Structure 1
Amino acid sequence: MDWINIVITGFDGLNSKLTGAGVVVRSIVEEFEQLIAESRVLTPSNTRLFALTAYLREDAPDLNRELRDETQAFCRKWNGDLITYRTYSDGYNRSQLWSPTQKGGGYNQWLSNSLSVANVAMMIERQYGQVLLITHDTPFAQVSRYLMPESNVKHFWVPHSMGAIFFDNWSKAKARFERVGLKHIVERGDSVGATTEEFDRTMRQEVKGIKKPLRSYLLSNNFISMKREMLDEERQSILARYQIPADKKLIFVWGRCVPQKGWDITLPTLKRFFETPEHQQQYHAVLLMPTGAMTNDYAQNALRLMDELSEQHCTKITTFDYDLPSAMLNSRNLDMVLLTSRWEGMSLVALEIYNTVKTSVAIVYSDIHYFNVIFPKMHNSFQMPEFSSDALYDTVIEAVETPRSEQPFEEMESAISTYAKAFDAELERK
């Protein structure tokens, strides 16, 4: 019998789950049985599952041993295994897997990830046969560069925070690394998965001068795990922990205390909103703004702005609580969610909102691509016309004054269905 070996790797999600990309990688592993059920090509009797993860020391603070053991158990159930590979990093912590302190930093570390994963995939192919290698995010963009032309390994790269789209401290280095990787993907005849049309357009633009076409598949990130239902008793217990009032309409805002999340316009807007006596009587805002150990100017200014808000009208939380977002999104009193990001690569928060909130909840959001993919499917969504505190205030007032629709949200295709279709097409391709 000819086995099909599905090999998946990512910067996160196999022995830790700290990022959005990690949640996606983890979801594919956990929903693998459903993927097999939806596939025309893959069956329980012809499929092996392997997971590849970069080495993390046993004393690494980010290592989740329980998650690692679960990953290994999933793989062994499907006749495969979890394989650890070495990189340029010494595995001291998760951050070093992205960029060690050694000379060369991130770029050399990404190269070592791509090279190591390519070698392990070819080893699996030599021992077990055909391999479909699914890699996630920047460190694996250049895997195709190191795959031998004659090997029966098909590489399927899924970017999550492309440097040409997602503007952060790594943008220039990521864009350069990804551009080289895309060139090798095209020239070798490998493929990519795009989680939005903007990602698809960007990748095609990056390889515009190459004669061969880029083979790209549009993928959904709407995994089952994006919906977390909560029992009333659990939800009420969490809200009671913070003394969140049960007799007012709730406005929820959450995100890290960084410029990306737009707290510098959200907090002044809420201060202005609660200057109106009617709003004071009807509404209460819940603000989850984890600051960690940050002491930079942005964090200090955000904390000062938060201090200007009355505790009578706002619950202010600056340490992260994993359960609070789910409790809030499941709350019967939730009336409005504010999302004021300056940019997002792929917003799992948007998907969690789509899958969890009541249809009558108002979503006020900034004009960025991924929000524009998700929120127009929700009938009570309100886009800010520009990124400013005045525009946010006007949009919040519009949401307050507009009658709400109770219509069901527009259906979104499941992520596993899109992955199954893409994998089938790749495996059937000669």
Structure 2
Amino acid sequence: MVKTTNALAVASIDGLATVECGIASIVHWFFEEFEGIAATSAGLRDNDWSLYALAPRIDERSSDFSPAVHRIVSDACGRHGGSFRWFDVEDTSSLKTVWSLDKPERWETMCAGLAAEVKRLCTEHARVTLVVHGVMLTALREYLSEEDNLQIVFVAHSLGRVFDDKASNNRSMFEDRGFAAMQKFPQDRVAYIGSYFRSILLDRYDLSPDKLVPMINAIPESSFRFPNVDQEEAHRYLASRGIPLDKRLYFSWGRCTGQKGFDALIPAFRTFLKTTPDAHLVLLMPQEVSPQDYIDLLDRELSSIPEESVTVIREFDPLIPYFLLQHPALFAAIFASRFEGAPLTVLETLRFGRSDLKILWNDIPPMAQFLNGVENAIVMKSLSEEHINDALREAENSPRLERQNQGGSYLDNISEGLAEALNWWTEPSLA
């Protein structure tokens, strides 16, 4: 068979048929925005290609499976001559078992399963560009050492030299292996999601500037997750989730892990309630893939806060941030993360939050790259109880200022990075 077309494929641990973490948002937005991306990226405008999605197999009976996302992704691939394809993993029963964050040997199995599908694509197309999302897939190039008609663009959403968690050692080991293997292929690239990660990749991973491409995190203009509804409908939805909209609300959200700092925020808020009893904390902390010991820790901390002063939502619900950030009952958004890359929660707030909303943030570089100098943004000097309470009191006592909502264009940011990577399709010197 004559191979006449290129292939653009996306492989991801989340966002192709599931929606659990920030990676999922970036990935399914790619397919929602793809018509615009295809129209503005020179490599896609000027070449013959097909679009594919490669996802770790998950039991479609699992509550983690998202028919809506699977349909969006599959339809986009079908419109552009490609298809949605599963690759094999060891345990398909849930996203937690698919990821197996505590079992790096399963990361190897995941890489091997994905590599088998990629090899198939490489026999079907003259050149294949594969955009890869997810730490478990970092070492993929080791499994594809013979495929010189393949370009891997690994999007670094997390980095082991920054993320100080239980998976950091495994993450760093896989990064070192994967990046070393990618160095042997001039066409391979590592994509950075913000200026902070670019500096880390250059300074602490010794990658050269020409090995990097930008795919800067941003929020798209539209998504099925951002429905156009009136304030009354949004109010009813939030109330149906048990959020008391007659109270003064403080909101923090993100995956339920130590990274997000809920264990520091909850006891500090308990102290804050002694002087501000009308305050109410809303926590959206999805636990589908969370470590049980961390869930237990938070439950112990929450048990000492009056039930009428806290609302805890334990499963992913993208409508809650979208609706609540615009609701007049919300006084402040709180970001207590210990480490980040380019946090979508912050970008959501800058995009959708009311212009007078207070924003409290832990003083770390990934937050500073977006929040330094922003009106109503109040720095927590550390995650000590004292410093969190200092910021909470400052928010209460400082005037509300008007902020212009901001955040880059998702379409423009992704198109720019993709166009740089796809030079490989038209420049033989890069092959």
- The TM-score bracket by the shorter chain reads 0.7 to 0.9
Q: Secondary structure at the match of 2:166?
A: coil
Partner of 1:109: 106
Q: Secondary structure at the match of 2:347?
A: helix
Partner of 1:91: 92
Partner of 2:27: 25
1:175 maps to 2:172: yes
CA distances 1:163-191 after superposition (whole Å, capped 9, x unpaired): 22112211101111111101111222210
Greater mean deviation of Cα atoms: 261-270 or 164-173: 261-270
Residues 325/106 of structure 1: CA separation in 2 closer, same or farther (3 Å cut) = same
Asked if the contact 2:262–2:298 (Cα under 8 Å) also holds between the matched residues in 1, the reply is no
Residues 151/220 of structure 1: CA separation in 2 closer, same or farther (3 Å cut) = same
Residues 37/299 of structure 1: CA separation in 2 closer, same or farther (3 Å cut) = same
Partner of 1:349: 345
Q: Secondary structure at the match of 1:360?
A: coil
For residue 63 of structure 1, the aligned residue among 62, 65, 72 is 65
Give the Cα separation in 1 of the matches to 2:258 and 2:91: 31
Partner of 2:161: 164
Residues 270/428 of structure 1: CA separation in 2 closer, same or farther (3 Å cut) = closer
Asked if the contact 2:219–2:408 (Cα under 8 Å) also holds between the matched residues in 1, the reply is no
Residues 90/384 of structure 1: CA separation in 2 closer, same or farther (3 Å cut) = closer
1:427 maps to 2:411: no
Equivalenced residues, count: 413
**Displacement after TM superposition at 1:41 (Å):** 2.3
Partner of 1:324: 320
- Which structure ranks higher in relative contact order (CA pairs < 8 Å, sequence separation ≥ 6)? 2
Residues 297/201 of structure 1: CA separation in 2 closer, same or farther (3 Å cut) = same
Larger-Rg structure: 1
Question: Structure 2: where are the runs of 5+ without partners?
Answer: 425-429
Give the Cα separation in 2 of the matches to 1:57 and 1:257: 23
**Displacement after TM superposition at 1:199 (Å):** 2.3
For residue 191 of structure 2, the aligned residue among 185, 190, 193 is 193
Asked if the contact 2:215–2:416 (Cα under 8 Å) also holds between the matched residues in 1, the reply is no
Q: Secondary structure at the match of 1:408?
A: coil
Partner of 1:306: 305
**Displacement after TM superposition at 1:111 (Å):** 2.5
Residues 377/91 of structure 1: CA separation in 2 closer, same or farther (3 Å cut) = farther
Residues 182/206 of structure 1: CA separation in 2 closer, same or farther (3 Å cut) = farther
TM-score, normalisation: structure 2: 0.85
2:118 alignment partner AA: A
Give the Cα separation in 1 of the matches to 2:63 and 2:407: 37
Residues 41/345 of structure 1: CA separation in 2 closer, same or farther (3 Å cut) = closer
Give the Cα separation in 1 of the matches to 2:56 and 2:266: 40
Show the 5 A alignment for 1:10-159: 10-43=12-45, 46-87=48-89, 89-99=90-100, 106-148=103-145, 151-159=148-156
Give the Cα separation in 2 of the matches to 1:268 and 1:207: 37
Greater mean deviation of Cα atoms: 20-29 or 287-296: 287-296
Partner of 2:202: 204
Give the Cα separation in 2 of the matches to 1:127 and 1:292: 40
1:154 alignment partner AA: Q
Residues 219/257 of structure 1: CA separation in 2 closer, same or farther (3 Å cut) = closer
1:64 alignment partner AA: S
Q: Secondary structure at the match of 1:244?
A: coil
2:199 alignment partner AA: R
**Displacement after TM superposition at 1:317 (Å):** 3.2
Asked if the contact 2:267–2:301 (Cα under 8 Å) also holds between the matched residues in 1, the reply is no
Asked if the contact 2:213–2:420 (Cα under 8 Å) also holds between the matched residues in 1, the reply is no
1:416 alignment partner AA: L
Residues 132/256 of structure 1: CA separation in 2 closer, same or farther (3 Å cut) = closer
Partner of 1:6: 8
Asked if the contact 2:148–2:185 (Cα under 8 Å) also holds between the matched residues in 1, the reply is no
Q: Percent identity?
A: 23
Partner of 1:236: 235
Residues 304/60 of structure 1: CA separation in 2 closer, same or farther (3 Å cut) = closer
Q: Secondary structure at the match of 2:44?
A: coil
Residues 138/362 of structure 1: CA separation in 2 closer, same or farther (3 Å cut) = same
1:301 alignment partner AA: R
Question: Structure 1: where are the runs of 5+ without partners?
Answer: none
1:284 alignment partner AA: A
Show the 5 A alignment for 1:278-289: 279-280=276-277, 284-288=279-283
Give the Cα separation in 2 of the matches to 1:321 and 1:138: 21
Q: Secondary structure at the match of 1:203?
A: helix
RMSD: 3.0
2:383 alignment partner AA: F
Asked if the contact 1:57–1:93 (Cα under 8 Å) also holds between the matched residues in 2, the reply is yes
Asked if the contact 1:34–1:416 (Cα under 8 Å) also holds between the matched residues in 2, the reply is yes
Asked if the contact 2:219–2:348 (Cα under 8 Å) also holds between the matched residues in 1, the reply is no
**Displacement after TM superposition at 1:153 (Å):** 1.4
Give the Cα separation in 2 of the matches to 1:401 and 1:306: 23
Give the Cα separation in 1 of the matches to 2:66 and 2:22: 16
CA distances 1:248-277 after superposition (whole Å, capped 9, x unpaired): 64332345665443344433433443434x
2:311 alignment partner AA: K
Give the Cα separation in 1 of the matches to 2:48 and 2:367: 39
**Displacement after TM superposition at 1:50 (Å):** 0.4
Give the Cα separation in 1 of the matches to 2:233 and 2:273: 29
1:360 maps to 2:350: no
Give the Cα separation in 1 of the matches to 2:165 and 2:243: 36
2:329 alignment partner AA: N
